[in-house]
Amino acid sequence: MYISINNNKFNCKVVSTPEKIRLGMMGQSFSNFDGMLFVMPEDTTQSFWMKNCVIPLDIVFIKKNIINDISPNCPPCDTEECETYEGNGGFVLELPANTCRSLGIKIGDRVDYQ
């Protein structure tokens, strides 16, 4: 699936099952896709962590089609006491760290799904 934010187009791997949401970017890097889009079961507060991730990420929380919160440059974690990142929305987009800063993506920006 492609999404656009501020004329920037991202080829996203979509995950929506509980198991795929739980695994997320664990042990993966971006190779055949630009971002991972999580379709959450409820449009509510979401909590993410970086356990067993291999690269730092920007975590973008989206309510319908508006960016509601951004946790930038979240570092990988390999312990059980990983920091959590929270935001509100039914969609969560993970991008390589610093993507939001370098492309000027910010809270309040519109997300178009294609």
What are the pLDDT digits (tens) for 31-72?
A: 889 999 999 999 999 999 999 999 999 999 999 999 999 999
Any domain includes 88: yes
pLDDT higher than threshold 90 for residue 14:
yes
Any domain includes 112: no
Region 82-89: mean pLDDT is 96
What is residue 32's predicted lDDT score, i.e. its pLDDT?
86
Query: How many structural domains does the chain have?
Result: 1
Q: What is the 3-state secondary structure (H, E, C) of 23-53?
A: HCCECCCCCCCCEEEEEEEEEEEEEEECECE
Any domain includes 113: no
Any domain includes 92: yes
Any domain includes 77: yes
pLDDT higher than threshold 90 for residue 88:
yes
Task: For residue 45, give its domain range.
Answer: 2-107
Q: In whole angstroms, what is the distance from residue 2 CA to residue 10 CA?
A: 5
What CATH number is associated with residue 67?
A: 2.60.120.1140
